[in-house]
Structure 1
């Protein structure tokens, strides 16, 4: 699209903000608007998502959390504009110069995430029947996955000539099974601890935590952007997807992830039942299970190499996650031992 047509596309939308564009750069769903009032970011989103996220942003402001890229209202007070079946909202364009290194930026992001969760935290009522139903359904899924694993390894071992994928699966079976059992045990511990409780803690969750959505202003302060997936939910719903993405690497002991997690926990400590559920979900070997299930369902494997590579990468993710889970277990046990020792000293 020519520069003239690009400006023409955005002029009617920006008119609602009394902004007249001089130059526009497009970056996917984001447009950088240059005008005499400064530089702005115009974001395009699916109108089906609506502008519900604006409500969560305003709630956070009301609760005292202001590390959010501001969303500007139109001249008549609206926070989003519908144009040609697309929804748009306007923000300042932050320079986002990396004044911090990779580790420090993540550390600051996790500290701000903990503050966001802490300030928006509230208790909600959970019916005992609903908690029980969630537990029983999740447990049933885990049992089905265990049956699948046992059935698949039996099928592999009864094959006269195993495929590379089947041979690799048999090598990894013990580790996958261990992760599944650990996840199940933590779930059972969580239910045993909470089955009589009728309250649970939720916060406003960002929904898509990423360094790309944590931007710096000219003073070097970090702000969250992209709240389009915001909602109330358990804070772990922000932590778990981020960890799943970050741990998709070759095998390594990722101490950075441990430091980021405990930066978060220092500001927003998880309760013992929340930690049990967090570890259950974190340890669950979902990605490696899915690739095995897809392979087993194929009538004819046209690309054995592709499946085998995916299995290997998901196994690396499993082992990287296992390291994080074990380190958290170790740190939590040490903290508990120190607390008990202090209590005995006081007594």
Structure 2
């Protein structure tokens, strides 16, 4: 057995019989049952928020989060000697997700949000300050993409990556423009209401972060990134992950969102913010600023990565354009 795992397991009242390492998860078969030992990175602030999240759901008796087994020191995690790596233990979740549809995941996420959702009044001064700051950030990132495209156009010869960027730049700019207009629509609707929707967000909800409890109900795992925020952030994350998995299939996101809304009501503002987040070409910012795109050896891999992101953005754009338009008040 790995010495690090042995040291961590000494903090738990279980007798391991067999250990199977699966990436960041170790499956522990013990005399007391079957357990999952998760290995991750968390600083002190993240571990405190992690434990606060677990206490919150325990306090409110919400069964949608897989329980974490306390260590002998009373904490819900064990920090490794390197000071950065953290382990935590839970019961091994049942499988059976193969037959589940995307709607099932959105239903589970809606129930997760509904149990913690509330509204906060909008502070006009803070709203203006944060809105301006976010718009400036979006504009700055797009200006960097424009500057990069202009730099390419001044070249005498284009690399494969340069050519791919120029070919797809009109799509990036179109999606950025639509994203900004949806963002402004959301701002206007939120101002009219005078309040913002807030919930406990999972942070990284995706199909691999769901398990089934003994009754066949969904439970979330990997809640170390959970925090308070607008529930649309989770919605956008889950939408993208489900879209990625349906690479060669049609995506009908309106059905996913309708399922979510039937368990946790949404409004036009939520839809506008979601559309803005999905269309913003944020995934391209880091890729195009990566210095390796100038290396001929890395060109093929980067072109492939760029094409994959373009495929994703086009698929999302086409899906959003198929959503029914909200009914306008007379």
Range into which the TM-score falls when normalised by the shorter chain: 0.7 to 0.9
Shift of 1:76: 7.4
Query: What per-residue deviation string (whole Å, max 9, x for no partner) do you get for residues 134-184 of structure 1?
Result: 221222233334434444444444444443333333332322221111111
Query: Does the 8 Å contact 1:128/1:197 carry over to 2?
Result: no
Distance 1:25 1:313 in 2: 33
Q: Are the structure 2 counterparts of residues 158 and 47 from structure 1 closer, same or farther at C-alpha, using a change threshold of 3 Å?
A: closer
Aligned length: 326
Superposed CA RMSD: 3.2
Change (3 A) 1:65 1:258: same
- 1:255 has 2:251 as partner: yes
Work out whether 1:165 is the aligned partner of 2:161: yes
Q: Which runs of 5+ in 2 are unaligned?
A: none
Of the three residues 11, 14, 17, the one matched with 1:13 is 11
Deviation at 1:197, TM superposition (A): 5.6
C-alpha distance in 1 between matches for 2:4 and 2:282: 44
Q: CA deviation at 1:74?
A: 5.0
Distance in 2 of aligned mates of 1:199 and 1:89: 37
Residue pair 1:253, 1:323 contacting (<8 A) in 2 also:
no
2:299 to 300, 304, 323: 304
Q: Which residue of 1 aligns with 2:318?
A: 323
Separation in 2, partners of 1:305, 1:79: 44
Shift of 1:319: 0.3
State the match for 1:70 in structure 2: 67
1:37-186 map, 5 Å: 37-46=32-41, 48=43, 49-74=46-71, 78-82=75-79, 84=81, 85=83, 87-98=86-97, 100-101=98-99, 104-186=100-182
Contact preservation (8 Å) 1:60, 1:116: no
Of structures 1 and 2, the larger Rg is shown by: 1
Counterpart-to-counterpart distance in 1, 2:295 and 2:42: 41
CA contact (8 A) 2:65 2:220 kept: yes
Distance change (3 Å), C-alpha of 1:262 and 1:254: farther
Unaligned runs of 5+ in 1: none
With 157-166 and 33-42 compared, the bigger mean Cα shift is at 157-166
Alignment TM-score, normalising by the size of structure 1: 0.79
For normalisation by structure 2, the TM-score amounts to 0.83
Which piece of structure 1 moves more, 262-271 or 158-167?
Answer: 158-167
* Alignment partner, residue 281 of structure 1: 277
